[in-house]
Structure 1
Amino acid sequence: MDTQRRELAARFVELHREGCFLLPNAWDAGSARVLESAGFPAVATTSAGVAFSLGRPDHDYVDPSSAGDRVGRTAMIGRIAAEVRIPVSADLEDGFGEAPETVAETISMTLTAGAAGGNVEDFTGDRSRPLYDPELSADRIRAAREAVDTTGEPFVLVGRTDVLLTGGKLDAAVQRANAYLAAGADCAFVPGAADAETIGTLVREIDGPLNVVMGLTGNALSLADLRDLGVRRVTVGGSIARAMYAQLLGAAKELADRGTFSYAEHQITQTDLNELFRRRPESDPPLPATG
């Protein structure tokens, strides 16, 4: 990791020390640059958005015949970190393999790509066992932590549990989140918690910083509400990408069904986008990819 990326990663680590911040999710270099221009201190990636941009489904329950639809880790990690001057946290799904050694390798690739953080989840995609066993899940986080510590680079490792998304109970989510923190995660992530009571319980019972995801259903809680509850980090998952695809689908239906062009009334001008995406002067070039 070069000096500039190391400084960004150290800044990202500090964001998790206190307070509450919003970490929006990008899916390609363009969306990351737009979020950067809005003034966010960092961005995350979204596996859903990356998959949709490649015409693939997101990581979900699958049968063996459709396993090839899943986006591989090289494409998922991508080059976003090389295109922005703010820290980037990568959505690493389940680490792209069951074995702790595979998860460690994925973390090493993520560090090489210049990311400042990444989350590893316990969702398997297998309906017969939706989550990796608790002990294996903790071992996977432990292997990720060791991969980070071997480099000595600053990096925020997030342990994500999908207990609530797979129909499990809140106490099981708390147990897993705490196990992942004990195994070396810097932050716990429990998607599926969206109401104040559930989130408040998680904040009280989890022994470390908590990430929650908003925007899945236009939730009524605001960032200020989440800050008051004690949440440390807020992401929005694939919701921005899905909102953009909703606009695309609406435009496509208007063109196909009515042959009209009213969708164009809400577009960003060519000039504005060119200016937003224009390369920096040669005296201040974009950071190169490191892997």
Structure 2
Amino acid sequence: MRTQAEKARMFRALHERSGIFIMPNPWDAGTAKLLASLGFEALATTSLGCASSHGRIDGTRSLSREELLANCREIASATELPVSADLENGYADDPEEAAAIIRLAAEAGVVGGSIEDATGDATRPIYDFDLAVERVAAAVRVARALPFPFTFTARAENYLHGRPDLDDTIKRLQAFAAAGADVLYAPGLRDLDTIRRVVAAVPRPVNVLVGWVDPEITVPHLADAGVKRISVGGALSRLAYAVVRDAAIALRDAGSFRWVRDILPSKDLKTIFRP
């Protein structure tokens, strides 16, 4: 088994080499092992996928901190791949209290993680600029104190919360980079022109979220735009639920079992899950 330090160095190297890489998002040990078996080089957790598996609506703090960390531990221990974690907003407004989740996530086995600038309060959905930067700086301090190179991602959430302000988003990402963030992430960007402007404006690798991006955009398009990393968030989880829903409707309404032709053979599952 690879050590956590080895996984951390592997993950950092993916960001330092040339070209783009894809980091899909499992939501449990089974999907982590499935994605690892397909040749991906890193994985990331998804708060939406985890919340859905608990029968809950995704949102800041829809999961308890303990539930989120347990999911990190489950996924990180399921494969030899490096895992980065969606750590919500750190479960606190105060910078030092929020930053503590970096240490706890590292103890759970992940080698990277993101903290967002969303408050979870619909009346003020995004932290004020100065506080958002202080929160990133605090998270960076905790990450740098770890005994391995933890890759910290800072997220600017404007576009997910009804604030499609590109200038403010870029300003925040630039400040997050200056505060020491290793990777920058503005989920909710849809078009290539906007993505190019973000990549050109910031000095750190940029993560782009599939699920919000125009589905006509491809990996080569994003690579050409200068994107370093692609994640899918809860998109694969939502696809899985859609497939189950449609098969169940066919069973209920048409008495059809045709969907059985598309199921994964049990022998393949045995191969994927073999210890």
Structures share fold, TM-score greater than 0.5: yes
Q: 1:97 aligns with which of 88, 92, 99?
A: 92
2:39 maps to 39
1:74 aligns with 2:66: yes
Q: How far apart, in 1, do the equivalents of 2:92 and 2:250 lie?
A: 42
1:160 maps to 155
Asked if the contact 1:216–1:239 (Cα under 8 Å) also holds between the matched residues in 2, the reply is no
How many residues matched?
A: 270
2:208 maps to 212
2:133 maps to 138
Q: 1:218 to 1:277 in 2, by over 3 A?
A: farther
Q: How far apart, in 1, do the equivalents of 2:271 and 2:22 lie?
A: 25
Asked if the contact 2:99–2:138 (Cα under 8 Å) also holds between the matched residues in 1, the reply is yes
1:151 maps to 146
Asked if the contact 1:24–1:35 (Cα under 8 Å) also holds between the matched residues in 2, the reply is yes
Q: How far apart, in 2, do the equivalents of 1:216 and 1:265 lie?
A: 30
Q: Normalising to structure 2: TM-score of the pair?
A: 0.94
Q: How far apart, in 2, do the equivalents of 1:247 and 1:39 lie?
A: 23
The alpha-carbon deviation at position 95 of structure 1 amounts to 1.1
1:124 aligns with 2:119: yes
Q: Normalising to structure 1: TM-score of the pair?
A: 0.89
- What amino acid is aligned across from residue 43 of structure 1 in structure 2? L
Moved over 6 A (4+): none
The alpha-carbon deviation at position 260 of structure 1 amounts to 2.3
Q: Deviations over 1:205-263 (max 9, x none)?
A: 11211111113466111111111111111111111110000011112212222332222
Unmatched 5+ stretches in structure 2? none
SS of the equivalent of 1:76 reads: helix
Identical aligned pairs, as a percentage? 39
Q: Deviations over 1:138-158 (max 9, x none)?
A: 111111111112223211100
For residues 121-270 of structure 1, the aligned pairs below 5 Å read 121-166=116-161, 167-216=163-212, 219-270=215-266
Q: How far apart, in 2, do the equivalents of 1:84 and 1:102 lie?
A: 30
What's the C-alpha RMSD, in Å, of the aligned pairs?
A: 1.6
Q: How far apart, in 2, do the equivalents of 1:217 and 1:181 lie?
A: 23
The alpha-carbon deviation at position 87 of structure 1 amounts to 0.2
Q: How far apart, in 1, do the equivalents of 2:201 and 2:213 lie?
A: 25
Q: 1:83 to 1:3 in 2, by over 3 A?
A: closer
Unmatched 5+ stretches in structure 1? 61-66, 280-291
1:282 maps to none
